[in-house]
Amino acid sequence: MKILRNYILREFLSPLFLSLGVLTFVMVLIGNLKRIADLVINKGVDLFSVLQIFIYLTPYIVTYTLPISVLIAVLLALGRLSSDNEIIAIRSSGVSLFKLILPLLIISLILSLGLVVFNDQAASYAHFAYRKTLKEMGIKNPTAAFEEGVFIDSFQRYILFIYHVDQKKNRMNNIRIYEPQGDDKPTRTIVAKAGEFISIPDKNIVKLKLIDGTSDEPDPENPTNFYKLNFRTYFMNLNMSQMQDKVVDKKYKEMTIRELKKEAEKLKKEGISPAPLITKIHEKLALAFSCFVFMLLGSSLGIITRRREKSINIGIAVLIIICYYPLLIGCEALAIEGHLPAALALWIPNIIFASIGAYLTHKLCAS
């Protein structure tokens, strides 16, 4: 029995690690390809920083790719054994089907329990670190934080609006800079055709060189009024302290279960429904235990389908995935809106798919 158990586990673990590696890489790359390409090509962010982004994104992606990889691996492993009639041979030797898949169920249960801790600690921390890294990029390379066609208020005193940004050359075209004066006073405006950023991190400032434009300058006789001044070049310093002082707050998906519970208790005391927080707690747990659910369902389907072809088994996995995750998202929305208790809503997909898997397994074992 030990030899058979090791054989089954080898058949399962190889496609598991392969699927996990490929799916995680593809989801990290494809899901963030536009952002990463923009950072490297247009905004001049170094490759080491981009690698950091990849590393910090990976744990959060693994929370989804590990259960999917378990499903694909068990379908491929047992589908091949079934198609080669090895399952029939094993059962003919007196080994029950339940004993055959029991090691896989135990492995999936261990993975689910491990994923609970992983989702709660590693994934939460890594996603928060990912957003903090993006903020630090904006401080080290201010142009990386700038977008065309939006108002930028990251610098003290000034609001910038830039129509075109070439981060690779640290150049801008068609610039508007506004300096509100407060107390119903007119806002000072500076307009320039082009400009360049010169970052000086040691002094916590960015020197801005403006080219060909006009600026509003206070009238010495009446400071509340301005007169237009044309310039060929105009230098000004932008203070970066406001950008650094902006604290990156944790989003709900970046909080641990303990932090979510603490925040929920605080909201309850203030008379606010903590449904989104409770929903996030159960989402973390439900996603973790989807490993066990997918194993229970996939093991029975792998034997029933008797398919050696990988494309067929992957197709079955895709069909299950496109049924499971939209159902989970829908149940999550019902829980957040308060239509269903989160403790029930987030577990509905697991209950449904586990019930189907348990029924199919029972039918197989009884036959």
What average pLDDT score do residues 159-180 get? 79
| pLDDT for the residue numbered 315 | 86
Q: Which residue has the higher pLDDT, 219 or 79?
A: 79
| pLDDT for the residue numbered 241 | 60
Residue with token string 């072809």: 309
Tens-digit pLDDT profile for residues 8-57:
888 899 999 999 999 998 888 777 776 666 666 655 666 777 788 888 88
What average pLDDT score do residues 223-241 get? 79
| pLDDT for the residue numbered 362 | 87
Q: Is a pLDDT exceeding 90 seen at residue 110? A: yes
Take residue 254 and report the two structure tokens written for it: 């970046």
Helices 257-269 and 275-305 pack at an angle, to 10 degrees, of 140
Which range (48-52, 123-127, 184-188, 241-245) has the least confidence?
241-245
What average pLDDT score do residues 351-357 get? 95
Q: Domain locations in the chain?
A: 2-140+250-366, 155-245
| pLDDT for the residue numbered 223 | 65
Tens-digit pLDDT profile for residues 176-219:
888 887 766 777 888 999 988 776 766 667 788 899 999 887 77
Q: How confident is the model at residue 304 (pLDDT cuts 50, 70, 90)?
A: confident
| CA dist 193 → 141, 161, 231 (Å) | 22, 12, 11
| pLDDT for the residue numbered 151 | 65
Q: Which residue has the higher pLDDT, 329 or 1?
A: 329
Q: Which of 86-95, 254-263, 323-332 has the highest mean pLDDT?
A: 323-332
Return mean pLDDT, the chain: 82
196 bridge partner residues: 171, 209
| pLDDT for the residue numbered 307 | 59
| pLDDT for the residue numbered 138 | 57
Q: Is a pLDDT exceeding 80 seen at residue 366? A: no
CB 23 within 8 A of CB 68: yes
- pTM of structure: 0.72
**208 phi and psi, to 5 degrees?**
-115, 120
Q: Is a pLDDT exceeding 60 seen at residue 143? A: no
Separation CA 301–CA 292 (nearest Å): 14
| CA dist 67 → 7, 101, 232, 291, 304 (Å) | 22, 17, 61, 4, 21
What average pLDDT score do residues 152-163 get? 76
What average pLDDT score do residues 258-280 get? 85
Which range (20-34, 136-150, 225-239, 295-309) has the least confidence?
136-150
Q: How confident is the model at residue 245 (pLDDT cuts 50, 70, 90)?
A: very low
Q: Which of 43-52, 54-63, 331-340, 345-354 has the highest mean pLDDT?
A: 345-354
Q: Is a pLDDT exceeding 80 seen at residue 299? A: yes
| pLDDT for the residue numbered 113 | 96
Q: Which residue has the higher pLDDT, 61 or 141?
A: 61
Take residue 10 and report the two structure tokens written for it: 């080898």
| pLDDT for the residue numbered 226 | 78
What average pLDDT score do residues 239-261 get? 71
CB 102 within 8 A of CB 110: no
